[in-house]
Amino acid sequence: MELIILILIVSLVYLFSMQGITCCNSGSLYALVRAIVEKKKLAIKEYLGYTNFMDYAKKNDKYYSDRPPGLAFASVPFHALGLNVVLVPVISGILSTVLVYLITLQLVGIEKIALITGLIFALCTINWRYSTTFIIHPLSAFLVLLSVYFLLNGYPFFVIGLILGLATIVEYTDFMFLFGIGLAQIILGNYSVLFPLGGGYVLGVVPLFLYNWRCFGSPLTTSYKYSAHFRWSNSLRTTFVTPILKGIFGLLFHIKKKKEIFLPGGMLVLSPVLIFGIIGFYYLSYENLILFLCLTLPLFLLVSKHKTYWAGGGGDYRYLSAMIPYIVIPIGLLLENNFVLWPGVLIFSLASFMIVAIKMSVLTIKIDDLKKINSGTGKEKISKLLKIKDIPSLVGLVFKGIFIRKINLEKCSPEKASKELSKKQEI
């Protein structure tokens, strides 16, 4: 019954808060989907407008998406059937929540705690924000979670590796989970599983090798090598350049200033309830502690070195999306073993829910919307303009900002794309 309740709640919230194609990142993948379905090719020149003429790769005179292609591949059947491609991240986010519930239930054995943990993951982390937009992270997180669920339930390591290979097609950094699971098995002395794990991975990642070879001339050359706008991503030497301590602090506590508003982005300011997940590591068994550390630390340290560890325009911890379940699941063990901290978890969960909701509404709400709430002149600072009496209006504005369907990027005709490209011949 608890699982049914969880699925119903999360499905309703995610479907009604579905945002659409909201940025050039989403648009780049959507362009690839349309090119495959409508033109039967991988080049996206006719649909380049969806990238906002930013998120694309250029090799010779051909234009491609500069994103990992896995989400686009998975969305092709949806677009071919006339369905909204954003359903892929939505379904992925819901299924990830189900897996968080199942893994927590397996570790704790109490359905109500598993339900609470699932709701925390679904509504108090960026899984909510990005499961409602056309972006890679929800599908990536789901596939990695599926591999971990299979690992905990004794499935063949070849199958686990295969799923991780497919996950890497969706998000390149999911390779770190192959490394993490392999490292955990080495530490635990399970050396014999490494070969089937690696063999399954190689088979799973073959479609990416074929895509890279077809588009960029080599199986190991990714779209980033030819990114036309973000040239720093053309090389690992110019991508992983952030001092590691700065990156670690930023991933935990980053706050982005947007005009007059400060937007939380780091893990512990956007989703403060995650602090209880970190504490919950104490209650993991030795084997699971090793596994969860290997699932989180390698990716966390890698992303802390990334040039845009704050996720660029997102200003949050979305690059860590695929490892967040392994921070949330230990909250269930903490709730089982430490009743005293239940009120703290509840308060921090509510705070995280509100912060994530407000952050999501930023996709829609503008400064002018805030100024309309009050009859002020608009020349004052927003912080002084809004008063306690404006709280109901602010709540309504946040609600509107979340539960609204929109596709921000205009459809782009081949003629418009050619016209815009003629202005960018130097790129």
Domain ranges of the chain: 2-364+404-422
The DSSP secondary-structure symbol of 220 reads T
| SS3 of the chain: helix, strand, coil, percent, to 5 | 70, 5, 25
- Using DSSP, state whether 416 is helix, strand or coil: helix
Q: Both tokens of residue 348?
A: 């921090």
pLDDT of residue 312: 82
CA–CA separation, 251 vs 268, rounded Å?
Answer: 8
Please state, in angstroms and rounded to a whole number, the distance separating the CA atoms of residues 65 and 72: 10
Question: Helix (H) and strand (E) counts for the chain?
Answer: 21, 4
pTM above 0.85, yes or no: yes
Query: Tokens standing for 252?
Result: 């935990």
**Distance (Å, whole) CA 341 – CA 116:** 14
| End-to-end Cα separation, the chain, in angstroms | 56
Burial code (b: 16+ CB inside 10 Å, e: under 16) for 371-391 equals: bebbeeeeeeebeebbeeeee
Separation of alpha carbons 206 and 215, rounded Å: 14
Q: What is the pLDDT of residue 378?
A: 45
Task: Please report, in tens digits, the pLDDT of each residue of the chain (427 residues total).
Answer: 899 999 999 999 999 888 878 788 899 999 999 999 999 999 999 999 899 888 999 999 899 999 999 999 999 999 999 999 999 999 999 999 999 999 999 999 999 999 999 999 999 999 999 999 999 999 999 999 999 999 999 999 999 999 999 999 999 999 999 999 999 999 999 999 999 999 999 999 999 999 999 999 999 999 999 998 899 999 999 999 999 999 999 999 988 776 666 778 899 999 999 999 999 999 999 999 999 999 999 999 999 999 999 888 788 999 999 999 999 999 999 999 998 999 999 999 999 999 999 888 765 555 555 555 554 444 444 444 455 565 676 566 566 556 554 444 445 444 454 555 555 443 3
Helical ranges in 109-240 per DSSP H: 111-123, 126-131, 137-152, 157-170, 175-187, 194-216, 236-239
Residue whose structure tokens are 């699941």: 329
Output the pLDDT for position 374: 54
* Residue pointed to by tokens 């325009």: 313
What contacts 390, CB < 8 A, 6 or more positions away? 373, 374
Residue type, 347: I
- Rounded distance, CA 147 to CA 161, Å? 8
**DSSP letters for 326-340:** HHHHHHHHHHHH-GG
Query: In this structure, are residues 328 and 97 in contact, taking their beta carbons and an 8 Å threshold?
Result: no
d(CA 293, CA 277): 12
pLDDT score for 395: 66
Of the candidates 110, 132, 131, 123, the residue with the CA atom closest to the CA atom of residue 349: 123
Burial (CB count within 10 angstroms: exposed 0-12, middle 13-18, buried 19+), residue 308? middle
CA gyration radius for the chain?
Answer: 22
